[in-house]
């Protein structure tokens, strides 16, 4: 059976070991904002030597190890095999795992050009779609996790992972993958002596206790209104029932779009930091914000990369279709606050610990001559203000986001992080050759990861209209040349 250029080899349902008890997991106010948001999709590309990537070897040796280790991992992460549900007798939705629940694992074979997929150069955005699994959802329930393993004979394989954002943020899903890869290596190196669930190293053990998250009211946040309303307003024809958990249709943008990865070396970032600080005082600031926007001794790689990338995109969009962007641009990002909460939330907390940050910049700042300086200054200042005043000093972030949408502002988002360490995930046959956030094609989003080949560098993933991408490449690479 062939589908979208792949041959379906097997469709398995992977369950945790029988000793795994039923699990109920509440959703916090952090989680509920993502209840109907599109799932997050990632692809991990793994190159294999020819003997291991031959179908007869892969399907009889490597695949069983991947499946067995997945089952053992789900014992520690049982909620991931469950569903998001909202029964009539419950005031809020929650995650429920019962012993009959499983994770869908699609196993496929592809004859696509693996080397072409590994290339960072622009290629059709739709090329990646065949390697990520669908996440089932309906009015009454939604899967938490879906997986796909695709073999490219004599080349390598991919692991595609699709996860529900209301249950797993980026740090959570990365911890799950690190746990799975750790147990896979354990099984690969020595056959377990018993059928008992394999233990996880302490740093990989998940923390699910919701009591560490204080009620929204303690932060001055009103959750009496539907927290998913901001996204539902984008889809007025979708089910508007209060208890509906069906994911909203954020369709991939595949027509005339291309996907590419751009690498910023440590030297590139240092050059940009020096250039921005040299021009720091040329951009005016709000008098009331001078404390936060004052010139720092250095800038973070995140601030520099984000500012440089969004300005290059904005100028490329404006250059190709200026009439569509007369209302300017905005930047919204979800910031992880585990370490900033009082008391701090454990680093291995599974769930969302994200709060929105909207850039305090004028919509047309992105396309002016020194736009990178203006955006870097605003982004650094906003992060510092949040750190000094507290995470929730701006509780109206979502109403501001809605105002941007109504005002025709083109909004950039950020996915991933250079701190997740995705290139350290090794299932026993080597680290990934490439990691891709496939769901970038569902919105105007920038994907971030650490540089695979150099400590201190970054990788930036993008999906853009092909004409916009061509201009972006010129602006992005040209701006890194020595002045």
Question: With the CA atoms of 441, 447, 449 and 454 taken in that order, what torsion angle do they form, in degrees rounded to the nearest 10?
Answer: 90
* Phi and psi torsions of 287, nearest 5°: -60, -40
Is 441 in the active site? no
Residue 332, Cα to own-chain centre: how many angstroms? 14
Residue 167 CA to residue 169 CA, distance in Å, equals: 7
Q: At what angle do helices 371-389 and 301-320 cross, to 10 degrees?
A: 140
Task: Using alpha carbons, select from 253, 13, 249, 19 the residue that is nearest to residue 145.
Answer: 13
- State how far the alpha carbon of 129 is from the alpha carbons of 41, 133, 380, 436, 479, in Å: 10, 8, 35, 11, 31
First-to-last C-alpha distance (Å) of the chain: 55
Is 165 in the active site? yes
Q: Which of 165, 268, 325, 441 is catalytic?
A: 165
> Is residue 334 exposed (0-12), middle (13-18) or buried (19+ Cβ within 10 Å)?
buried
Q: At what angle do helices 301-320 and 466-478 cross, to 10 degrees?
A: 130
Task: Using alpha carbons, select from 265, 180, 273 the residue that is nearest to residue 450.
Answer: 265
Task: Using alpha carbons, select from 468, 253, 289 the residue that is nearest to residue 374.
Answer: 289
Active-site positions read: 165, 426
């Amino acid at each position: 059976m062939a589908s979208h250029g792949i041959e379906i080899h097997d469709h398995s349902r992977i369950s945790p070991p029988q000793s795994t008890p039923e699990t109920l997991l509440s959703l916090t106010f952090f989680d509920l904002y993502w209840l109907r948001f599109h799932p997050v999709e990632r692809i991990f590309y793994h190159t294999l030597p020819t003997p291991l990537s031959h179908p007869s070897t892969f399907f009889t040796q490597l695949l069983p190890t991947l499946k067995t280790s997945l089952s053992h991992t789900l014992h520690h992460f049982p909620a991931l095999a469950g569903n998001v549900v909202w029964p009539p007798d419950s005031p809020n939705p929650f995650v429920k795992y019962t012993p009959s629940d499983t994770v869908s694992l699609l196993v496929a074979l592809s004859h696509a050009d693996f080397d072409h997929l590994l290339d960072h150069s622009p290629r059709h955005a739709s090329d990646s779609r065949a390697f990520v699994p669908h996440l089932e959802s309906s009015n009454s329930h939604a899967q938490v996790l879906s997986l796909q393993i695709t073999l490219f004979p004599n080349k390598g394989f991919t692991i595609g992972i699709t996860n529900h954002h209301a249950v797993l943020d980026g740090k959570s899903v990365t911890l799950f993958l690190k746990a799975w890869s750790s147990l896979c290596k354990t099984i690969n190196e020595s056959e377990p002596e018993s059928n008992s669930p394999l233990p996880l190293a302490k740093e990989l053990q998940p923390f699910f206790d919701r009591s560490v998250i204080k009620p929204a009211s303690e932060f001055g946040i009103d959750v009496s209104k539907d927290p998913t309303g901001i996204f539902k307003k984008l889809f007025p024809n979708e089910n508007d029932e209060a208890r509906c958990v069906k994911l909203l249709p954020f369709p991939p943008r595949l027509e005339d779009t291309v996907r590419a990865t751009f690498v910023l070396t440590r030297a590139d970032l240092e050059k940009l930091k020096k250039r921005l600080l040299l021009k720091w005082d040329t951009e005016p600031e709000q008098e009331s914000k001078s404390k936060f926007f004052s010139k720092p001794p250095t800038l973070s790689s995140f601030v520099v990369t984000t500012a440089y990338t969004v300005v290059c995109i904005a100028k490329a969009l404006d250059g190709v279709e200026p009439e569509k962007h007369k209302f300017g641009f905005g930047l919204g990002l979800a910031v992880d606050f585990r370490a900033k909460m009082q008391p701090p939330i454990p680093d291995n907390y599974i769930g969302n610990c994200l709060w929105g940050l909207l850039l305090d910049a004028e919509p047309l700042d992105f396309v002016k001559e020194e736009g990178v300086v203006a955006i870097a200054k605003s982004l650094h200042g906003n992060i510092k203000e949040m750190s000094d005043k507290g995470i929730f000093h701006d509780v109206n972030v979502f109403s501001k986001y809605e105002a941007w949408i109504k005002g025709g502002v083109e909004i950039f988002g950020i996915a991933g992080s250079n701190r997740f360490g995705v290139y350290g995930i090794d299932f026993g046959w080597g680290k990934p050759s490439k990691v891709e956030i496939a769901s970038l094609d569902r919105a105007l989003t920038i994907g971030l990861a650490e540089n695979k080949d150099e400590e201190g560098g970054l990788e930036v993933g993008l999906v853009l209209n092909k004409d916009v991408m061509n201009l972006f490449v010129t602006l992005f690479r040209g701006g890194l040349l020595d002045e």
